[in-house]
Structure 1
Amino acid sequence: MAVFNFGSINIDHVYSVPHFVQPGETLSSKDYQSILGGKGANQSVALAKAENDVFHVGAIGSSDAAFITQMKSAGVNCAHIREMSDVASGHAIIQVTPDAENSIILFGGANQTLSHDHIATALATAKQGDWVLLQNETNAIADIIDKAHELGLNIAFNPAPMTESVKSLPLQKLSLLVVNEIEAEQLTGFNDIEKMKQALLAAYPSTNFVVTLGKQGAWYINQETSAFCEAFKVKAVDTTAAGDTFIGFFLAAFQRQESAEEALRYASAASALAVTKAGAAPSIPSAKEVHDFLISQK
């Protein structure tokens, strides 16, 4: 099975700072990097490194086409990425503090140019049993969900960054919804994990859910079962792509029909390894690295 990931491709401008810049403050950065990022690109790279077939569907400014080469080198099929000559690439301004916290400003750019033609052309190559993956950094999300559902494809959605518009999307058509604790609270109105879980199941009874809790671990829930995995303890350097890494590795295991417990553990290990390195896509580990790490934890 393959994943068609309709996702953002961002150029991440990463600044290492002693603390997040304050209003009116001019702050010097001790380090700067320009690297491949964006939730969509990160999740595609994570899927590819988890040895899953993944087709990235998106757009990038033609002047930044070299970043597509990085995605290809990770194993991502980039046949459905369009280069735009008249639109700037999506990009992010990222501050990273010594305790590995980050603050991000996003510019959508080419990520907001998905068209009906682009969507239809990509999905015309999908096969029964394939998945469509989405985040909230592109346009046309409702159209993609509707088209994928019409074709009988499995649909996974990570509504990040969370906005009020997410609530109006046809979420009942999803096969899998992946949210962190804050996103779950915004969707349900509850800040208690048990109430969040019950509210999600009541609102979307046919959907599977993963709720990530950072250092507290992650839950998988549906109407029949639930599973929990504690987070692995590591020394964090940069948490920028931790959630995206988790999603890519979880979906790869989920497609292989591994148990919920195994998929959560696999994804949690990958996420733990990702935070031990700086950067977004470059920090995502290989399947072998995750396998070796899991063996070391037994």
Structure 2
Amino acid sequence: MAIYNLGSINADWFYKVPHFPADGETLAAESCTGGLGGKGANQSVAVARAGGNVHHIGAVGGEGGWTLERLKSMGVDVSRVAIEGAGSTGHALIFLTPDGENRIVIHAGTNRMIAEADVSAALERAGPGDMLILQNETNCTVFAAKSARARGMRVVYSAAPFDVGAVREMLPHVDLLAVNEIEAAQVAEALGVALTALPVRELLVTQGARGATWFDLKTGETLAVPAPKVASVDTTGAGDTFAGYFCAARDRGLPVAECLELAVGASALKVTRAGTSEAIPTLAETRAFLEEIGG
């Protein structure tokens, strides 16, 4: 089947700093590098590198052609990405400390200028069994989710960056909600319900170095997979790697336990590498990594 991803495309700028700046502090970066990022782009690359057939839906500015070439080179179909001359491509400033932790500032740019007509055109050939992935870094998410549901597609929603209003609007149209444990608590608090009472069929909660847990909220089934212990270099994009790998594996019909194992393994391997999209491991690398630590 096919996976469609309405998602952000960003130019990422990485600044290595000795520590995060304090209020009023001016801090000299040790280095500065650029690359491809955005939650949407990261997830599309993760799907492609996990062996999935992924079609990216989004928009970039006239200066953002290099981002599309980069996505294409990593196996993502970008024929459904619009070139929006009235805006600039989204970008992110990422501050990295020596322990691999990060703080990020994002400018949405053309990620918030996507036309409903372009979304409709992108989903024209989609049908039952196909999957739509969404995040909170673009507009048109509710429109896309409703359109996907009308076509019999499965809708996967990463509720990040967290926004209460967006979550309330989206959940009625979502099959699988993917969040980290902080976002999970925020969603439950915002809706005033227990985590296991959220109005979705499936819930996927990533727990950083402790792994991830999948819940079937209709049957009560729960599966948890611990994360391998690794030396973290850069945690940027780890959650996106997890989501993309999990979706690609589910799309291939693999058992949920195997989907979790691959996703946890890929995200653990990712944090040992600097960068975002370009640092996401291939399926062969992930399987070799899991075999190595398992042996």
| TM-score, normalization by structure 1 | 0.95
Residues 163-220 of structure 1, C-alpha deviation per residue, up to 9 Å, x if partnerless? 1212321413212110101110101129xxxxx9x8244231x511111111111100
SS in 2 for 1:33: strand
* Residue number in structure 1 paired with 2:248: 252
| Counterpart among 200, 203, 209 of residue 215 in structure 1 | 209
Segment of structure 1 superposing worse, 280-289 or 144-153: 144-153
Corresponding residue of 2:31: 31
Equivalents in 1 of 2:48, 2:226: separation in Å?
25
Given that 1:201 and 1:207 are in contact with CA atoms closer than 8 Å, whether structure 2 keeps it comes out as no
Contact 2:185 2:195 in 1 (8 A): no
Cα RMSD (Å) of the superposition? 1.4
Q: How does 1:1-298 map to 2 (within 5 A)?
A: 1-189=1-189, 199-204=194-199, 206-222=200-216, 223-224=218-219, 225-298=221-294
What do residues 122-163 of structure 1 show as CA deviations (whole Å, max 9, x unaligned)?
011213210000010001211111111111111000011001
Tell me which amino acid in the other structure corresponds to 1:221: F
Query: CA–CA distance in 2 between the matches of 1:270 and 1:203?
Result: 27
Preserved contact between residue 217 and residue 230 of structure 1 (Cα < 8 Å): yes
Question: Structure 1: how far apart are the matches of 2:167 and 2:80?
Answer: 28
**What's the secondary structure of 2:157's corresponding residue?**
strand
How far the C-alpha of 1:229 sits from its partner, in A, is 0.3
Separation of aligned partners in 1, 2:279 and 2:225:
22
Structure 1: which amino acid aligns with 2:245?
Answer: F
Inter-partner Cα distance in structure 1 for 2:260 and 2:170: 26
Structure 2 segments unaligned to the other structure (5+ residues): none
SS state of the match for residue 284, structure 2?
helix
Q: What SS class does the counterpart of residue 93 from structure 2 fall into? A: strand
Q: After TM superposition, give the deviation of residue 48 of structure 1 in Å.
A: 0.3
**Matched residue pairs, number?**
291
Q: Equivalents in 2 of 1:177, 1:208: separation in Å?
A: 6
**TM-score, normalised to structure 2's length?**
0.96
The residue that corresponds to 1:193 in the other structure is: none
Q: Judge conservation of contact 1:6–1:57 (CA < 8 Å) in 2.
A: yes
Question: Identity, % of aligned pairs?
Answer: 40
**CA distance in structure 2 between the partners assigned to 1:203 and 1:52 by the alignment:** 28
- 5+ long unaligned stretches in structure 1: 191-195
